[in-house]
Amino acid sequence: MKANMGSADRIIRLIIAVAVGVLYYMGIIEGTLGIVLLVFAAIFLLTSLVSFCPLYPIFGLNTKGKSNEG
């Protein structure tokens, strides 16, 4: 797995994951919608921590920017 997420993308995903977690904890979102959003929040948290989104290569995306390889 080669990193394909830039720092702005990672920060946005972290903010969204934390916001969903707080909203669920406070009882603002609940039920099936709450569970679904928590699953997405967990995925956002995991992908931001490893700097890799498995959907990006499928769609040809890379937010990391250009590297100085070669």
pLDDT tens for 24-44 read 999 999 999 999 999 999 999
CA distance linking residue 6 with residue 13, whole number of Å:
11
Q: What is the pLDDT of residue 70?
A: 40
User: What average pLDDT does the structure give for the chain?
Assistant: 91
Q: Answer yes or no: are the C-beta atoms of 4 and 67 closer than 8 Å.
A: no
65, pLDDT greater than 90: no
Question: pTM for this structure?
Answer: 0.84
Q: Residue ranges per domain, the chain?
A: 1-28
Q: What is the pLDDT of residue 39?
A: 97
